[in-house]
Amino acid sequence: MNFKILIKNSKTAFTLTELAVVILVIGILFFGTISSSTVINSVRNKVTRDRMEIIYRMMGKFLADNKRLPCPASIIENKNNLNYGSEIRDSSTLECLGTGVYSSNQSGAENLVYGMVPTKEFGISSDFAEDGFGNKFNYYVDKRFTANFITNITNDLNLVVPSFGTAPYQDIFLIKNQVMIGEVPVNNDAIMVIVSNGVNGFGSFKNNGTQNPLSQNTQQYFQEYSNIAYDFSSNGGVNTANFDRVFFASSDTNSSFDDLVYFKTRNDFVETFKLMSLIPCKGNDILDPDFSNLGGKKSVYYGSQIEADNPCPMPNESIRKIKKCDSYGRWVDVLGQCPSGSSPFLTCTIGSSGSGISGMKPKIVRRGTSGTDGECLNDYQGSYTWSCDDTGTIIFNNKCLSYCSLSSSLGSGIPNLKVPPNRQGEGQCASGFSGYFIWSCNESGVATINTNNCTN
């Protein structure tokens, strides 16, 4: 995903929440049929849910650009400070460490960190760090998914070094519903959770960096206590807080429960933002003995192909088995068996040479086959069809279109961005500039700035 969401911010203007509330209050005063507090809270709930969705979209763009999820921003930062909404990440260890970001002090939750939504990293208004009730969203994430992308995973046969594509992605955050007969699991694989503490703001942080009061009745507010962090402490430069992996999305036993819980799994991110390229296949998942540890047995990312170390028996010793890393870390056979008898098993290599292959990811196929599953390289969108006849003649229809590159060379204040082909959109100006611009990207990968209202 390559787009910016424009939010015009003014110290004198109403926020969207305020405008919606004002309009509804006028309607209530005019018609006088609905409780004003009920309607206002309904509007604020909708604003909260809409902002959660926009945060998710911006998080997906951040993931596509950086190949990792962002660390939280400081939950105790005051909105008046310039660093409000900036990701807190140690420059040497690349861990989510620093003022206002907290690790869990609970056993089994050591990889979980907590803080504020890093709106500054997304290039959106700082208002999006807050819910419709004026309190900060709580952002929880498994820090392994914030680690840098690992380019070379060839020799890591079990993918033990964590990153977005290599970290374990199951049994992380547990989301539950509280019903009258007990607790019902909803999802056990979330890697990111965003929580609004609703109307009562119980335990949430205000935009001045102070935390709202906690109720002393932990029994009555048990589910809401599960959705907040508290008992903050610092030891040796590591900040910790009391929170674990369990969150409640609803409660039928507590009428005051008003939290809004938003969560996503690793596969949610991959499917929504078409990021299968971040997911590798493990070398040690290959059981075929013809793929040894010497060269044929290796870990690779989605779409890559590997050949067996051991060639096929004579007279087909020029042929080797081929495996491809398919979706979600699953190996599939391209050439799963050696040809039998004296007839060699011949192949074609699509997209490796010749004209008209721009953006095509090469693939090896068996002669006498065809398909529509040709994949494009990174920074290209689309696919291609292909065929290879019995004589090795290759025909393809390349529909891979290049993304356009935006930069300041196209106009003052234009940020460095990749935008999809055959699209037009509106973007927020680069850091240090205010305003917006309108861009278009044609099918040839050429970008045009149609309107530039960026000023500094």
Per-residue pLDDT tens for 328-386? 999 999 888 888 765 566 788 898 888 889 999 988 888 888 888 888 988 898 999 99
Q: What is the DSSP annotation of 336-360?
A: -SPPPTT----EEEETSSSTT-TTB
Cα 114 from chain centroid? 17
pLDDT at 10: 40
Secondary structure percentages of the chain, helix, strand, coil, to 5? 20, 30, 50
The SS3 assignment for 186 reads strand
Prior bond to 315 cis, omega within 30? Answer: yes
Q: Which residue has the tokens 């036993």?
A: 253
Which residue, of 243, 275, 307, is where some domain finishes? 275
pLDDT at 3: 43
Measured at the alpha carbon of residue 324, what is the angle toward residues 264 and 378, in degrees to the nearest 5? Answer: 60
Which residue, of 251, 275, 299, is where some domain finishes? 275
Q: Which residue has the tokens 């050439």?
A: 335
Q: Which residues of the chain have pLDDT under 50?
A: 1-12
Residues 40 and 102 in one domain: yes
Residues 302 and 334 in one domain: yes
Residues 93 and 197 in one domain: yes
Residues 181 and 320 in one domain: no
Residues 377 and 441 in one domain: no
Residues 201 and 102 in one domain: yes
Burial of 10 (0-12, 13-18, 19+ CB in 10 A): exposed
pLDDT at 6: 43
For residue 8, tell me if it sits in a domain: no
Strands 363-366 and 384-388: unpaired
pLDDT at 77: 96
Separation CA 84–CA 121 (nearest Å): 10
Residues 385 and 427 in one domain: no
pLDDT at 253: 86
Q: How far is CA 214 from CA 100, 222, 228, 229, in A?
A: 19, 12, 10, 10
> Taking phi first (over 0 means left), then psi (-120 to 50 degrees means alpha), and beta for anything else, what does residue 338 get?
beta
pLDDT at 8: 40
Q: How large is the C-alpha radius of gyration of the chain? A: 26
CB 420 within 8 A of CB 439: no
For residue 7, tell me if it sits in a domain: no
Residues 184 and 314 in one domain: no
Residues 162 and 64 in one domain: yes
Residues 343 and 434 in one domain: no
Q: What is the DSSP annotation of 96-141?
A: S-STT-EEE-STT-TTEEEEB--HHHHTS-GGGGB-TTSBBPEEEE
Residues 383 and 413 in one domain: no
For residue 48, tell me if it sits in a domain: yes
pLDDT at 353: 82
For residue 389, tell me if it sits in a domain: yes
**What is the per-residue pLDDT across 200-230, written as a single tens digit (0 to 9) for each?**
999 999 999 999 988 776 666 788 888 999 9
For residue 9, tell me if it sits in a domain: no
For residue 3, tell me if it sits in a domain: no
| Structural domain boundaries, residue 334 | 277-401
Q: Which residue has the tokens 């082909």?
A: 421
For residue 186, tell me if it sits in a domain: yes
Residues 202 and 113 in one domain: yes
pLDDT at 302: 93
Which residue, of 275, 294, 319, is where some domain finishes? 275
For residue 11, tell me if it sits in a domain: no
Q: How many domains does the chain have?
A: 3
Is the pTM above the cut of 0.95?
A: no
